[in-house]
Amino acid sequence: MHWADFTAEKLSKERGNKQVACSGITPSGEFHIGHIREILSAEMIHRACLDAGLDSRYIFIVDSMDPLRRVYPFLSEDYEQYIGYPLAFIPAPDSAGKPDPEGGSYAEHFLGPFLDALAEIGVFPEVIMNHETYASGQFAEKIDSAIEQADKIREIIESISGRELDENWFPYNPLGSDGSMDGVTVTGYQKPFVHWTDRHGNSGSADIRKADGKLPWRIDWAARWGIHGITCEPAGKDHGAAGGSFDTGLPICKLLGSEPPSKMVYEWIQVKGAGPMSSSSGNTVGPIEALSLVPPEILRYLIAGSKMNRHIDFNTGSALFQMADEYERLVASAPNPDAEDLTKRQRVAAITQSGAMRLSQINRGTDPVDSLAGVTFRHLAMLAQIKTSDDDVWNSLRNSGHLTDEPNSALQNRLERMRNWIGSIHFPEDARINIQKKIEDNARAQLSPEQITFLQRLAVELSDSEWSDEAIGNTIRTISSDCGVSGRESYVALYWAMLGRKHGPKASSLLLEIGKDDAIKLLSS
């Protein structure tokens, strides 16, 4: 079974018909594509639950009550005054990184574009702002229980995490007189009020039924599992590591009177050659940027086609060709899992691939065939560089037999993103095409006398050849054989002639797109 279908079946056996899949995020800055793995993992499990006939919800909890921890590089020093403030209560930054009182909240500022990106990949969660959950009083019972059992929770955290808590540690962080949680010391508790003094010497009380403070992260996470009835929440390997917040959350959740979800850990997405993505280190590719380059169903396939316990190399360079063409190939020719002639291993692979294709679609329940572009990424990359207008691309595809009618939305989507990709820093340099006007001296110096003879003969023969991809390819092979030049040497000669380098896209297709007159003129030079 596909990992999402397997998880849905497991959840059904463990927790019954009603399921709540969840993912969460702290809106402290720009989001990166690494966050997509947690979100799509939970959303795909939710879809698999629905496909299995379960009553499932997918919620997305925004940690808007989390404090601003430091002044990030994209913020001005004016934000120093807001350190320790909940993100929901801080003004958003303007274009210069300065606080903008008219720009809404800090949390909403960074959340909005991310939700727009999620909608592009077919993710429409129930969004829950955590500060609103605190303000509505839903945390009050859990906060009271945590305070009453503070010693037990301290013991759980210290014994499982292996770290010693400060002697002034308290399972609730109230806001001080200036709105910050930093430098606030708890002096007592009389339900529903937590009494405190802050760094300014002021005293006050926080009402646990309001957003006057919050639980520390390890307790907050465990508490909301129970508040929202969460049955499934994939966690990154940092939280899922031995002694991490997932391990401490399980017994704390039970201590607070709820049943926690089963532990489920996913590996990180890494930028190819640069390690795990990190907002603080700047090693990121934003989801909006990624979606401007990668078709959404292929971005979903990146997650759906990888087991959760394997890291993913996100490569917006040459590997994108392989991933996109693999997707097209699987959709077009994936074996039927119900076919009688399959071996057990082939059947398992077919079922897994079928699940990945199903979960890669933007709209649940649509046929993967509808997302076929019908042309490889490599071929489209070549056309997008040679043809300046979209209509010229469509005409070329009609001439080559790739397109018989008007382009479907999938193909139009591919070309739009292809042009973005070609114009970005991510497009691989060795895939860029610059058609030569004539064979330059430096290129001629790379050619043997036999290769030069081959090019001369080819120019003559092509003048009488039918101008189609197949006919051009046949002529290349015939002349290559006649000249005693190997297939590889003949193509290397063509690439030096056409591109000024020794490799490139399919030579016959490239000659076809250059056009008969220009191709013959170039080879004759």
pLDDT for 272 equals: 61
**Tokens describing residue 346:** 């082939």
pLDDT for 322 equals: 87
pLDDT tens-place string over residues 30-79: 777 778 889 999 999 999 999 999 999 999 999 999 999 999 999 999 99
Task: Give domain limits for the chain.
Answer: 282-429, 441-524
pLDDT for 407 equals: 92
Give the ranges where 16-137 is alpha helix by DSSP (H): 34-51, 106-120, 130-135
pLDDT for 181 equals: 97
Chain Cα centroid distance, residue 198: 41
> DSSP labels for 254-286?
HHTT-PPPPP-EEPPEEETTTEE-BTTTTB---
pLDDT for 335 equals: 73
φ, ψ dihedrals at 31, nearest 5°: -85, 155
Quick check: bond before 67 cis, omega within 30?
no
Fold classified for 282-429: Arc Repressor Mutant, subunit A (1.10.10)
pLDDT for 334 equals: 76
pLDDT for 35 equals: 83
Torsion of CA 306, 312, 313, 317, to 10 degrees: 40
Pick the CATH number of 441-524 from 2.40.128.110, 3.30.360.10, 3.40.50.920, 1.10.10.350: 1.10.10.350
Low pLDDT (below 70) residues in the chain: 271-285
**Domains 282-429 and 441-524 fall in the same CATH topology:** yes
pTM above threshold 0.75:
yes
pLDDT for 294 equals: 86
What is the rounded distance in angstroms from the CA atom of residue 509 to the CA atom of residue 472? 8
